[in-house]
Amino acid sequence: MFKTYKKSILFHNPDYHCTFFYQNELRKLGWKAEIFVSDSYPATLLYSDDDIHRTRDYTKNSKINYLIWFMFNFFRYKYIFYYGRPYSFSNVFKKLPVKMNYDPILALLKVCRRKIIYLPSGCRDEFTKASFSLFDNGNICGNCGIFDQCEDKSNVRNLNLVNKYADLVIGTGFNQPSINNLRPIKWKSFNLNIFCSNTVIPDEHVMPATENLRILHVTNLKNRKSGEKNIKGSQYIFDAIEKLKSEGYRCELMNIENVKSNEMRFFQTQADLIIDQLIYGHWGSTALEGVALGKPVICYFNEEWKKSYIANFGIESWPFIEANTNSIYQVLKNLLENPNLLEDYANLSKDFANKYLNITINVKEFVRCLESI
């Protein structure tokens, strides 16, 4: 039988670079921390392919390979941390009725007294489609490229299983899903020695010099786009920049695609301004990466969600420049005419990152959460 360490955790699929930073910091604190990456995890989003676990080719069936690997390895860890739906690789059990609320893998973990931590990877992991479509008068769901693929049979099953099996559910602090054991913590964290304003850019990533204001917007929506639907409001951003250029303003778009997760910061560092999204209601990874790098960042926030986040974490100053699809042109124009504002927001970003995105601080809260369950 494998020895189980009291301070041991298996991360089941990484939350971009964030999980790798947690792994490193936990190890410094004496933890056994490992990351499992499924075969379906997008290669461009994988921050590092070193020191990770994958399944072996026991059979020609990837799902069976996963089950075999998991059965031989989960005994090593006290905490099993799922990013996204925890049963997504055991599709052999997918046909179970929604109301049955049962998953063999999760049930086995509970019998073996493992602690299950769940980090939702998106709205479908937190809400039913029916309830989420009510936010912002349906504007979020109405612009979602995978709206037609989202269905409440699987959403309800997910929520039921999480409520039954999860010992800790990490909340963003923005909203209150119908999930038990939800605990808002400052999960999103960065190694601020790597994500910092003085990041050194490799020669192969250095962009040509320009006098224009460089505006970075990353779409990265190939799997979340359908027709004209775009959850980030990208076309409004493109149109606003083109209009400003036609009016003689010195600005240009950096639309970077197909860049590896661990190289994106080299391009973000060269931007003067970063725009994340104008529709979803709170930040994505791009916004927080920009803040960690000390950049001014534009993003749209649902007002109630923003109030909730500020209240949950006692935020002292808000570093984001807020805009939506209707106001993006005017917001950009104001920044171009008042460039000193960019420096002010850059300083707010640095302060916010040090207080709320610092991995060396946030990992201690995370450990306290684990030890409390």
Task: Residue 178: give its domain's CATH number.
Answer: 3.40.50
Q: Name the token pair of 94.
A: 């997918």
- What is the band of 97 on the pLDDT scale with cuts at 50, 70, 90? low
Q: What is the pLDDT of residues 18-65, one digit of tens each?
A: 999 999 999 999 999 999 998 888 888 899 998 999 887 767 777 778
Q: Is the pLDDT of residue 9 over 70?
A: yes
> Are the CB atoms for 310 and 172 separated by under 8 Å?
no
Whole-number Cα distances in Å, 130 to 138, 141, 151, 365: 10, 10, 9, 33
Q: Does 178 share its domain with 275?
A: no
Residue 17 one-letter amino acid: H
Q: Are residues 236 and 107 in the same domain?
A: no
Q: Specify whether the CB–CB gap between 278 and 136 falls below 8 A.
A: no
Percent helix, strand, coil in the chain (nearest 5)?
A: 40, 15, 45
Q: For residue 2, is it within any domain? A: no
Confidence of residue 98 (pLDDT cuts 50, 70, 90): low
Query: With b meaning 16 or more CB within 10 Å and e meaning fewer, what string describes 309-322?
Result: beeeeeeeeebbbe
Same domain, 144 and 49: yes
- Indicate whether 227 and 263 sit together in one domain: yes
Q: What is the mean pLDDT of residues 329-354?
A: 98
d(CA 361, CA 372): 18
Contact 10/80 with Cβ under 8 angstroms? yes
Q: What is the pTM of this model?
A: 0.93
Query: Which tens digit of pLDDT belongs to each residue from 310-334?
Result: 999 999 999 999 999 999 999 999 9
Q: How far is CA 78 from the centre of its chain?
A: 24
Q: Are residues 61 and 132 in the same domain?
A: yes
Q: Is residue 19 part of a domain?
A: yes
**Domain of residue 268, CATH code:** 3.40.50.2000
How many structural domains are present in the chain?
2
Question: How does residue 301 score in pLDDT terms, banded at 50, 70 and 90?
Answer: very high
Going by their DSSP bridges, the two strands 297-299 and 251-254 should be labelled as: unpaired
For residues 125 and 223, state if they share a domain.
Answer: no
